[in-house]
Chains A and B, each alone.
Chain A
Amino acid sequence: MALLTCENASFAYEGKAAAKNINFSVESGDYLCIVGENGAGKSTLMKGLLRLKSPTSGSIYLGEGLQTNEIGYLPQQTEVQKDFPASVYEVVLSGCLNRLKGRPFYGRAEKELAAEKLEQLGITALKHRAYRELSGGQQQRVLLARALCATQKILLLDEPAAGLDPLVTNELYELIAKVNRELGLTIIMVSHDINSVMQYASKVLHLDTEQLFFGTVEEYRTSSIGARFLGGPFHGGN
């Protein structure tokens, strides 16, 4: 059984379809990229996968013993975080919250895990810095470390490169690929930046409210929709 399966799932906002009849499955170790234009239902689907929004029809199954609270998530940054007083360590440690079960405070295991993730992402030196004073790329690393504290299996990312400059974007993509390769985490990433992502992803799901394509990256390159979408990176799909 796959790690995560989406079967005929549809999502709607106030009766208006945002994503329709989505069918795909993700195996352990996959790197799936969900692509499409703005408003194609990518973020809606992401919310569905995170159980923040329930499907109007169809269903989403988790397999291989994956629990709903074992999903790591790298959300888009919010307005609140821009002036939020928190140290890097406080933010990363908060990723361990789903391990506390009923306990009120973090123990040694959680603190060690947070320290390990800081080390893996090369941000141990930033541990005591204020989150709001970091650069965009550093902030994304901190949020990635937090997400890694929350999961050992699957990581969902929503436009992680939004607002980053090209150099930092590449570094971040390299880092995500490393997490996929070396830690064996399954990755599901929403992005409209298909060209840079193609070199890392193993599978592609292309949405335009309806599902236009699901398959491997190789299949996508040779498909008509893929060829069209990849052909004109600066002009969009149509």
Chain B
Amino acid sequence: MVVIDLFNEMMTYPFMVRAFIAGTLVALCASLLGVSMVLKRYSMIGDGLSHVGFGALAIATSLHLAPLAVSLPVVVAAAFLLLRIKESSKIKGDAAIAIISTGSLAVGVMVISMTTGMNTDTCNYLFGSILGVNQSEVALTVGLSIAVLLLFVLFYNRIFSVTFDETFAKATGTKADLYNMLIAILTAFTIVLGMRTMGALLISSLIIFPALSSMRIFKQFKAVVISSAIISIVCFVSGLTMSYVYATPTGASVAILNIAVFLIFSAIGWISGKGLVK
């Protein structure tokens, strides 16, 4: 079997094993949280957070600090801030996100050009690299991803309720603000963890595409969640393989596969909506 041989060959490289384990877990987390983010109209928050992550990563690298240890708290703080802005806004939500995204990107690029200079590392931060996950980060990524998954499963019913109807949830005694914050923090974790392989500019595709694709076809929340998880993992593993075989950028490969799935699912949704297929 060609596929199995290829897989075995890929797994002989430690960097591939790391990218595979970390990436699959992050793709899974991103797709689950993505359903809630997309439905709550928070997609752009996810995108904004990844740009903040890039800025933090650039600063951490130039100061020779551990990239994850610096970016995690910064991105979590940004998640708090962006949610606050969405709730009480003088500057409207979308504009605020744009300011923070472009601002962080500019700071990141400036810091890089003043220290190491623009090089392949910069390119890898922005667009992802198959070599992105180093040894010390695998354990952290696995640990945090499992925490995200556990919290998502345990709070699944609450997340549904808060996503479908925040006012009702609040009125009947659910601490909606707490769960909004939980969703944002878990998303912040996921973005930081996924940024190394997917790249700062492309990580939000992991969050947004699987959920949107699933919503074209499935009409139940649980079905959408499960379908998103499957799409996300399949696209990530295929994208990683593509990246290995054809030496394409990992982030872009995964994102393009996600776009393809989205188009296929949209077509199926459109056809079944027309009643041509039952």
Contact = CB atoms under 8 A, between A and B. Distances in A.
Interface of A: 50-52, 67-69, 71-73, 75, 78, 80-81, 83-87, 90-91, 94-95, 97-98, 100, 104-106, 130, 132-133, 143, 146-147, 150-151, 156
Nearest to A69: B173
Contact of B168 (A68, A84, A146): A146
Given A85-B219, A86-B220, A98 B173 contact: yes
Contact of B154 (A84, A104, A150): A104
Contacts of B155: 104
Given A80-B41, A104-B157, A73 B218 contact: no
B160 A94 contact: yes
6 A-B pairs closest in CB distance: A69-B173, A130-B219, A50-B171, A73-B171, A94-B161, A150-B172
Contacts of A50: 170-171
Nearest to B219: A130
B220 A104 contact: no
Given A94-B160, A97-B158, A106-B157, A130 B168 contact: no
Nearest to B227: A85
Given A90-B221, A105-B157, A73 B172 contact: yes
Interface residues of B, number: 31
Nearest to A156: B171
B160 A90 contact: yes
B84 interface: no
B157 A97 contact: yes
A156 B167 CA distance: 13
A90 B165 contact: no
Contacts of B270: none
B169 interface: yes
Contacts of B154: 104
B173 A85 contact: no
Contact of A68 (B173, B215, B223): B173
Nearest to B217: A85
B92 interface: no
Given A52-B167, A80-B39, A105-B156, 14 more contacts: A67-B173, A68-B173, A73-B172, A75-B171, A78-B167, A80-B165, A85-B218, A94-B165, A95-B172, A97-B157, A98-B172, A98-B174, A146-B168, A150-B168
